[in-house]
Structure 1
Amino acid sequence: MPPALWTVWVLGSVISLPKEGASDQASSLSCDPTGVCDGRSRSLNSIPSGLTAAVKSLDLSSNEITYVSNSDLRRCVNLRTLRLGANEIHTVEEDSFFSLRSLEYLDLSYNRLSYFSSSWFRSLSALKFLNLLGNLYKTLGERSLFSHLPNLRILKVGNSNSFTEIQEKDFAGLTLLEKLEINVPNLQAYAPKSLKSIQNISHLILHLKQPVLLLEIFVDILSSLEHLELRDTDLNTFHFSEVSINETNTSIKKFTFRNVQITDESFPEVVKLFNYVSGGLEVEFDDCTHDGVGDFRTLTLETIKHLGDVETLTIRKLHIPQFFLFHDLSNIYSLTGKVKRITIENSKVFLVPCLLSQHLKSLEYLDLSENLMSEETLKNSACEHAWPLLKTLVLRQNRLKSLEKTGEILLTLKNLTNLDISKNNFHSMPETCQWPGKMKYLNLSSTRIQSLTRCIPQTLEILDISNNDLDSFSLILPKLKELYISRNKLKTLPDASFLPVLLVMRISRNIINTFSKEQLDSFQKLKTLEAGGNSFICSCDFLSFTQGLEKHGSGLFFIL
C-alpha cells in the first residue's frame, strides 16, 4: 500500500476504534489527510485509542472526558495542537504530555482540575499557547508551572470563583508574552513583583471585580507592559495613590476598560494613571457604565495637568443611566488639546458643544457612528474654528436627512478630506451642493438615494455609493480612482469617458446582463473590476470573453 494511502487508512480507521471501556456513544473522529482530527461534541468520555504519529491536530473539546492517562497520547509525537477544553477532566497523569515535544497549542480550559503539576509541561518547550482558564484551582501550585516553556507567547489562567491569590513564583521563567489573561475577580492577595519577572508583556487582560490591588499590579508592570486591559471592574471606589509609583521608564501605550463602572468621583482618579505613561497613548472604553452626571469638580481636576499623552480615545456603547442630566463637560475641555483620534460609537451622542470642538486643536480623525447627530446639532458642533486639523469625519448611521445642509455645515472644516455619512436616510439628492474644497473620499452607501446629481464633489478620488436604489451612473468625475457601486440596479457599466482615471470598480450584485470587450477596453487605466452576482446572459460570445479575462492584456484583474 502506498504511504499516502496508509496514512489515510490509519487516520480513517484505526483512530475511529473506540478505546476499550469507552462509552458506546463515542463517535469516531473526523480526520483529514493532513492529520487534522475533529472530535468536538461527540459525547466521548475518554480519549480515543489508536492515536498515532500521523495526528497533528486533535480537537476533543466539549465532550465528557474525565481522565488523561500517560498512555493516551504517547504515540502522538507530531501533535502540534491539542484542544481538551470544556470537558470534565479532573485528573491528568504526570507524564501524559511527555512525548508531545512538538506541541504548540494546548487548551485545558473549563474542566475540573483542582491543581496543576509542573511535570505536565516539562517537555513542552515548543508550546506557544496555553489556556488554563475556568478550572477549580485556588492557586497555580507550589512550584512554577511555566519555567520550562521558553517559547510561550499566550497564557490564560484563573477562574471566576476559587482563584484568589497571585504568588511571586507563579510566572517565574517567562520573559516574553504577547498576551497574558488573568481571570481573578475575587483577588485577595498579590505578592509584590509577581508580574515584574516577566520582562515584556504585549497585552495583559485582568478580570477584577474590585480595584483594591490594582495599583500594586500597576507598579510591577509599568516598565514592561504595552497594553493593559481591565474587564468587569467596579471602579466606583477607585482611589489613586501617587506615592505608590516611582517608575519613570514606562512602556504602556494603551489602556482598555471593558465592562467597567465609573463615577464622577473616580473618573479623575483613573485619569491620573495616564500621567504616568510617556509617549503617545491610546485609551479605550468599551461597554462601560458612567454612574454620574459628568460633574467633575474643578478642584479635583486641578491635580491633573493634562490627559497624559493621550492621542487616541475610543468609546463604544457607553451607558449613562442619568443621560438627560449629564453636564456639558466644560471643565475638562482644557485636557483635550493633544488628542488626535476620537471614536465614540453607539453612545447616544447628539451634540459636540462648539467650545469643545474648538479645544480639539490636534484632532485629525473623528468617528461618531451610530449616534443621534442631526443637521441642527452638527451645525453647532462644526462651528467656526472647530476641529481645525480634522481630515476624517465618520457620521455613519446617525439622523442626517439633507445632503445639501450637511455639505454646507461642513464648509468650516478646511482640511476635511474623508467623509463617511453612510446609513443615513437622505433619499433624494439636490442638483448642487457645497463641500469642503479638499474632499477626496465620500461614503454614501446605504442612504436610500435613487439618483445622482452634480451634488457629488468633483474633487473625489474615492466614491462609495453601494447598496442604494441607483439604476444609472452618468456623473463626470475627472479625479475618481475608485468607484464602489455594488448592490444597486444598474443595467450596464458606467461610461468610461466620465471616469478617465478610474483604477478600481466594484459593481457586483446589480442587474447587468452583459458588457463587451470594447466597453471594458474604454477604461484605459482600470486595474480591478469586480462584477459578480449580476444577471449575466450566458451567450457563447460572453462566455468566451469572460474566460479570457482571468488576466486582461492590459493588466486588468477581473472578478466575476
Structure 2
Amino acid sequence: MEDPDFPHPGESLQPPPWACPWRCSCPQADVVDCAGLDLHVLPDNITREARYLSLQNNQLRELPYNELSRLSSLRTLNLHHNFISSEGLPDEAFESLGQLQHLYVAHNKLSVAPQFLPRSLRVADLAANQVTEIFPLTFGEKPALRSVYLHNNQLGNAGLPPNAFRGSEAITTLSLSSNRLSHLPPSLPTSLEQLHLQNNVISKVPRGALSHQTQLRELYLQHNQLTDSGLDATTFSKLRSLEYLDLSHNRLATVPAGLPKALTILHLGRNRIRQVEAARLRGVRGLRYLLLQHNELGATGLPAKALRPLRRLHALHLYGNQLERVPAALPRHLWALLMPHNHVPVGLPGGLHTLHLQRNQLRALEPESWAGLGQLQELRLAHNRLRVGDIGPGTWHELQALQVLDLSHNELSFVPPDLPEALEELHLQGNRISHVGPDAFLSTPRLRALILRSGTCLRGVTKAPGRGIRAHRIVWGVARPLTVAHALLRRANRLHMTSIAEEAFLGLPHLRVVDTADNPEQVLVRLPPTPRHRPRAGGS
C-alpha cells in the first residue's frame, strides 16, 4: 500500500508553506537553521516569527542592527564558531530581543562583552573569545539568568566590575576558567551551585569572598597559584553545601583549614603538602574520596589519627609521595588504596577492593602482608623487583576474591604457583619467563586473559575502567584453536616455539586472550575448545 505522504517518482519535495532563507532549513514556522553554510552575511529574509535561529559554523563577522532588531520573537540565537568581533556587534544589537532566553556566541572574536543583554536571558555562552571586559548590564539585572560561560577568554580582575552579577540571583553555573584572574571576583551570585575558576593565576581568596555562597556544591580551583597564605580558616567554612573541592596543581603546603562538613571529594594532588594535620580533616567525616597524589608526604606525613575520623572514605590516592609504609589505622570501609611510586613494604588495611602498589621497590611478598584482604579484587604490583623465590608459600591464600593480578615488569622467571582460584586476568609481561609448565594454571580455572608479552605495552584489547581487560576473543593471531604472536627479543620474557606446554591451558575453559607478542620467536598457543551450551533436562 502506497504512503499518501511520500512523493511518487517524478514528484519533487514541496518546500514548507512558510518562507525560509535560501539553503537554510526551516522544519517549523518558527525554526530557522542556517548552520554550516559558509555564510558571510546574515540572511535578509529570516521570518519575524522565528523563535530559534542557528547561524553557527559560518563566516559571519558582524550582525547588522537593522536585521537583528526585527527578530523580536527570538528565544534562542546560536552564533557559535563565527568571526564576529566587538566592532561588528553594536551595543544595541540585542536591545529589541526582549524574549531572548539562550544566547550562544562562543568561539568568536569578541574583545569585550556586549554592554546590554535582555532581562529575559537564561543562558549566556561567551566562551572562547578574547573578552577582557564585561559591563554591569551584560549579566546584571537578569532575574532569569541561570548559566554564564566565560571560560577561555582574557578576563582579569579589572575587567569584572563589582556589580557584574547584581540583580541576577538565579545563576547556578558560572564558568570563569582559563582566564587571567589573580583572585576571586567580589560579589559572586549567592545562588551559585557550580563555580569554575581553574586555570587562572589565582593566588588569594579574599576574606569573605565565599561567605554567602551557601548553595555552592562544586568549586574548581585547580591549576592556580594558591599558597597557604592565600587561604584562611574561613575561606571554605561557610560553604555548607559544598561536596566537591578541587585544589590540585597549586602550591599548598598543608591541607586547608575550615573544610565544610558536606564535602565528599577533596582533590589536593600535585601540591607541596608534607604533612596532613589531623585537625584539618576532623570536620569532614563524610569524605569519600581523598586525593593526595604527587605531594611531598614522607615517613611521618600521614599520622594514624589523621585518617581515623574518615569512616566513609572510599578511595585514597597516595601515589607519587615518599611514604615508607602504608598509613596505620586506615578507615575500615576503604575500597581503593593507590600507592604506586612510594617505598611501601607491608602493613595493608582490610576491606580493600582495589590496591595499587606499582613502583614501590618491593622485593618480597609474605602471607602476613595480605591478612584480612579477603575482599580484594584487583592488585597491581607492576614495576617492582619481585622474584618467584621471594614470594612466600601461601602468599595468595588470603586473596580468595582476587580477579585481576598485575605482576608485570618484575623479575619472575616462571609463573608463580598457587595463584587465587577466582583469578580472571593475569599480567606477566616484562618479566624473565622462558617456560610455562603443564601445571602453571591448575589453581586458576576461571582465567580469561593471560598476558605474556616480552615487555612492550598491550595493544588491541578492550579495557573497562578499574577492571582491566574485558575481551572475549583471541586478539593475537588467527582463529581458534591457534594464536600466533612474535617479535624481537627484548630484555624481558624469553618464550620460544615450544616454551608453553600443550597441557597448560586444558583446564581453562573460559580463556579468551593469550598475548605472547614480542617474544624472541614465534609462539604457538593451543587453547581449549569453547564450552558449548548444554540444554537443560527435557530440552531439545
- TM tier relative to shorter chain: 0.5 to 0.7
Q: Distance in 1 between matches of 2:337 and 2:314?
A: 8
Paired residues of 1:307 and 1:335 also in contact (CA < 8 A): no
User: CA 1:507–1:149 in structure 2 vs 1: closer, same or farther (change >3 Å)?
Assistant: farther
Q: Deviation at 1:170? A: 1.5
Write out per-residue CA displacement over residues 371-412 of structure 1, whole angstroms, 9 at most, x where no aligned residue.
Answer: 2555x24x15x6355453441233264246767976957424
Paired residues of 1:404 and 1:433 also in contact (CA < 8 A): no
Q: Deviation at 1:225? A: 0.8
Paired residues of 1:69 and 1:93 also in contact (CA < 8 A): no
User: CA 1:456–1:109 in structure 2 vs 1: closer, same or farther (change >3 Å)?
Assistant: same
Tell me which residue corresponds to 2:424. 441
What secondary structure does 1:228 align onto? strand
Q: Deviation at 1:92? A: 1.5
2:214 is the alignment partner of 1:198: yes
Paired residues of 2:445 and 2:507 also in contact (CA < 8 A): no
The structure carrying a bigger strand percent of its residues is 1
Identity of aligned pairs, percent? 9
2:290 pairs, out of 265, 283, 296, with: 283
Tell me which residue corresponds to 1:361. 350
Q: Distance in 1 between matches of 2:108 and 2:344?
A: 47
2:105 is the alignment partner of 1:111: no
User: CA 1:293–1:200 in structure 2 vs 1: closer, same or farther (change >3 Å)?
Assistant: closer
Paired residues of 1:254 and 1:282 also in contact (CA < 8 A): yes
Tell me which residue corresponds to 1:130. 149
Tell me which residue corresponds to 2:276. 268
Tell me which residue corresponds to 1:294. 299
What secondary structure does 1:383 align onto? helix
2:115 pairs, out of 93, 97, 100, with: 93
Tell me which residue corresponds to 1:391. 376
Q: Deviation at 1:228? A: 1.3
Q: Deviation at 1:191? A: 1.9
Tell me which residue corresponds to 2:56. 37
User: CA 1:144–1:123 in structure 2 vs 1: closer, same or farther (change >3 Å)?
Assistant: closer
Q: Deviation at 1:307? A: 5.2
For normalisation by structure 1, the TM-score amounts to 0.61
Tell me which residue corresponds to 2:497. none
Tell me which residue corresponds to 1:230. 247
What secondary structure does 2:328 align onto? helix
Write out per-residue CA displacement over residues 29-68 of structure 1, whole angstroms, 9 at most, x where no aligned residue.
Answer: xxxxx958325xx7x765699888798754327x683444
Q: Deviation at 1:418? A: 2.0
Paired residues of 1:446 and 1:465 also in contact (CA < 8 A): no
Q: Letter of the aligned partner of 2:81 in structure 1? A: L
Q: Distance in 2 between matches of 1:387 and 1:8?
A: 73
Q: Deviation at 1:14? A: 7.5
User: CA 1:336–1:395 in structure 2 vs 1: closer, same or farther (change >3 Å)?
Assistant: same
Q: Distance in 2 between matches of 1:451 and 1:127?
A: 65
2:161 pairs, out of 135, 141, 147, with: 141
Tell me which residue corresponds to 2:49. none
Q: Distance in 2 between matches of 1:148 and 1:15?
A: 36
User: CA 1:303–1:137 in structure 2 vs 1: closer, same or farther (change >3 Å)?
Assistant: same
Tell me which residue corresponds to 2:493. none
User: CA 1:85–1:16 in structure 2 vs 1: closer, same or farther (change >3 Å)?
Assistant: closer
2:335 is the alignment partner of 1:341: yes
Q: Distance in 2 between matches of 1:163 and 1:171?
A: 19
2:477 pairs, out of 489, 493, 501, with: 489
Q: Deviation at 1:442? A: 1.9
1:9 pairs, out of 20, 23, 26, with: 23
Paired residues of 1:201 and 1:226 also in contact (CA < 8 A): yes
User: CA 1:210–1:310 in structure 2 vs 1: closer, same or farther (change >3 Å)?
Assistant: farther
Q: Distance in 2 between matches of 1:281 and 1:384?
A: 25
1:254 pairs, out of 261, 265, 290, with: 265
For normalisation by structure 2, the TM-score amounts to 0.63
Tell me which residue corresponds to 2:90. 69
Tell me which residue corresponds to 2:31. none
Q: Deviation at 1:220? A: 1.2
Q: Distance in 1 between matches of 2:134 and 2:75?
A: 31
The structure carrying a bigger helix percent of its residues is 1
Write out per-residue CA displacement over residues 49-97 of structure 1, whole angstroms, 9 at most, x where no aligned residue.
Answer: 9888798754327x683444356677898885725257451241313x6
2:533 is the alignment partner of 1:524: yes
Structure 1 residues not aligned, in runs of 5+: 21-33, 321-325, 471-481, 511-518, 527-560
Paired residues of 1:276 and 1:308 also in contact (CA < 8 A): no
Matches within 5 A, 1:161-560: 161-167=180-186, 169-174=187-192, 177-178=193-194, 180-181=196-197, 183=200, 185-187=202-204, 189-191=206-208, 194-205=210-221, 207-212=224-229, 213-221=231-239, 223-236=240-253, 238=254, 250-263=261-274, 267-269=275-277, 271-286=278-293, 288-290=294-296, 293-296=298-301, 304=306, 306=308, 308-309=310-311, 311-315=313-317, 318=320, 328=324, 333-338=327-332, 340-344=334-338, 347-349=340-342, 351-354=343-346, 356-357=347-348, 360-369=349-358, 371-373=359-361, 376-377=363-364, 379=365, 383-384=368-369, 386-395=371-380, 397-399=382-384, 410-421=395-406, 423-424=408-409, 430=415, 433-437=417-421, 439-444=422-427, 454-456=439-441, 459-461=444-446, 463-465=448-450, 468=453, 484-492=472-480, 523-524=532-533
What secondary structure does 2:313 align onto? strand
What secondary structure does 2:243 align onto? strand
Write out per-residue CA displacement over residues 182-225 of structure 1, whole angstroms, 9 at most, x where no aligned residue.
Answer: 65613262326x3443324145436452233242122112x211
What secondary structure does 1:328 align onto? coil
Q: Letter of the aligned partner of 2:130 in structure 1? A: N
User: CA 1:405–1:82 in structure 2 vs 1: closer, same or farther (change >3 Å)?
Assistant: farther
Paired residues of 1:112 and 1:136 also in contact (CA < 8 A): no
Paired residues of 2:78 and 2:103 also in contact (CA < 8 A): yes
Q: Letter of the aligned partner of 1:173 in structure 2? A: S
